[in-house]
Structure 1
Amino acid sequence: MSGASTPAIALLIGHKVGHRVHSYDHDPRSESFGTEAADALSVRLGVVPDQILKTLVIKCADNSLAVAVLPVTTTLSPKKAASALGTRKISMADRLEAERTTGYVLGGISPLGQKRSLATVVDESALQWDRVLCSGGRRGLEIELDPRDLVRLARAVTAPVATR
């Protein structure tokens, strides 16, 4: 894949951040986009599913939106995420609101290159890897990059927000 085909990829290119773009055939019947990405890419790329991250758009107590990025093999701890983001509580954002705010469709929401910059928390486990994969901004498109670059470009905080 060449060029900046999504805002996330354009951001990486604009900041001259080393990355690789990977695609896979997205099944429109898939109900778990993260599991689909892990199944499609982990063996092919020689990564463990914990290196593949999902992006969740969440609503904070003040009705603002934020983003949580965590391994596809885990679930979000609402209490830990709220604490990391400095809010009392969180809930999952409405699909349409998440899509409208980020500029991406559900299942293809990237933590990078969003239409509106949102407060972001990345699970600290991502930092144990030399490379992670996150959505490239489209279903079936993943970006491989250094997790420290992900944190820096997303202007994220890191915290233990994932649970098994």
Structure 2
Amino acid sequence: MKTNVMRMLDKAHISYETATYVYDEKDLSGVHAATQVTVITPEQCFKTLVARADQNNLFVFCIPVAKELDLKAGASASGQKRMELIHVKELPVLTGYLRGGCSPIGMKKNYPVFIDQTAMRFDRIGVSGGHRGVQVILAPDALAGFVQGQFAPLTRADGAQ
């Protein structure tokens, strides 16, 4: 199955691989998905989160699935004073994607994208292919270039509150 994300990458001549997995409706966490994708390590799987700085300013963050977004770091990276994650019910309206299938590629609007700097440690990372159960695997630089994203420290240090 070709998703819109794949069509967009094809049109831009960006090299990627796909990985499909059986998703669990009861556990849509990125960690669960990462354990199902066998062509890359779980550390290379990134989840996509959307946060709001104010009524009209939304930002997209790609972070490792086992990590938590540090909202202060996200605000700092995006030049905002503060932000909060959007409610999951808002996701389809604002992005066109469902929880568990949210990709930084091909959202309804071109929101600013920030990718955790740990992505640069890898030759390739996985992000959602735009549908639950589908990952696209590509070079972090290719992803950043395509979505005009920036690399930044975005996650809480292990054990930090």
Length-normalised TM-score, structure 1: 0.91
Q: Which protein is richer in strand relative to its size?
A: 1
Could you tell me which amino acid in structure 2 is paired with residue 137 of structure 1? G
Gaps of 5+ in 2: none
Which one of 1, 16, 19 corresponds to residue 13 of structure 2?
Answer: 16
Report whether the alignment pairs 1:26 with 2:23: yes
Gaps of 5+ in 1: none
CA contact (8 A) 1:7 1:114 kept: no
Secondary structure of 1:162's match?
A: coil
Could you tell me which amino acid in structure 1 is paired with residue 141 of structure 2? R
Please list the CA deviations of residues 77-126 of structure 1 after superposition, one character each: whole Å capped at 9, or x if unmatched: 11110010111111011223221121111110000011111011100110
Shift of 1:143: 0.3
Could you tell me which amino acid in structure 2 is paired with residue 38 of structure 1? A
Runs of 4+ in structure 1 over 4 Å off: none
Which one of 97, 101, 105 corresponds to residue 112 of structure 1?
Answer: 105
Report whether the alignment pairs 1:39 with 2:35: yes
Which one of 81, 87, 90 corresponds to residue 74 of structure 2?
Answer: 81
For 2:6 and 2:53, the matched residues in 1 are separated by: 28
Which one of 114, 118, 132 corresponds to residue 121 of structure 1?
Answer: 114
Shift of 1:50: 1.4
Equivalent residue pairs, number: 157
Could you tell me which amino acid in structure 2 is paired with residue 39 of structure 1? T
Which one of 56, 60, 64 corresponds to residue 67 of structure 1?
Answer: 60
